[in-house]
Amino acid sequence: MYWFKLKPIAVIALLYLVPAVLTGCRSDGKGSGNAVKYFDIKGYFTAETARLDKAHKPVSKTISHNGVTETKKVNIDNWGQELDSFTGGDINKPAWKNSYITSTGDGITLYKAIEPGLKVREIIVKRDADKIKWIVIYTKTENILYKNVEKLSYYPDSLYQIVKRQHVKLMGNNNYEITGVIVN
């Protein structure tokens, strides 16, 4: 095939051009028809981290591992990193649009997983009018090597808590608890 000989510069251009064209055709999920179906955990905690970063309030932080506890008063420099576990509770993925049932009543909205393999098992959001009073997220990850169960609780301007129970085969149990009390 003598007619299909490419010069080195053409090969380099193809190596960069083809992936750029292919990725440019993909949808980023932000177009029309991709409205948020469930509570926007990711959006809420992104706004909270920005707000808390500006507020610069100190936190009385208690960390416990298997019963050994330590408490310190700290200033959180990166609330996005501090609340990352909460942001991971986002259930608004297009593939999960019918994976949770929603129940509401008395200012509480409950999102409960239908499928047993989903990591985020439940999200409970308590509102007073349009104001969020608290959010609790339950997660579970399980396979043949380990089981990990978490309860994430968040009370705006007051408290956040992560309680984690972990069992790893051949290594045993680990219990973690992180509680941050926001000092006003």
Which residue would you say has higher pLDDT here, 34 or 54?
54
Average pLDDT over residues 8-24: 39
- Is 17 strand, coil or helix? helix
Question: Which residue from 102, 109, 110 is spatially nearest to 128, judged by alpha carbons?
Answer: 109
Instruction: With a cut of 80, say whether residue 22 has pLDDT above it.
Output: no
- What does pTM read for this prediction? 0.78
pLDDT digits (tens, 9 = 90+) for 126-157: 999 889 999 999 999 999 999 999 999 999 98
pLDDT tens digits along 92-103: 787 788 889 999
- Where do the domains of the chain lie? 36-182
Distances from the Cα of 139 to the Cα of 45, 119, 126, 153, angstroms: 17, 5, 18, 12
CA–chain centroid gap for 81, Å, is 11
User: What's the whole-number mean pLDDT along residues 53-69?
Assistant: 94
Give the pLDDT score at 173. Answer: 94
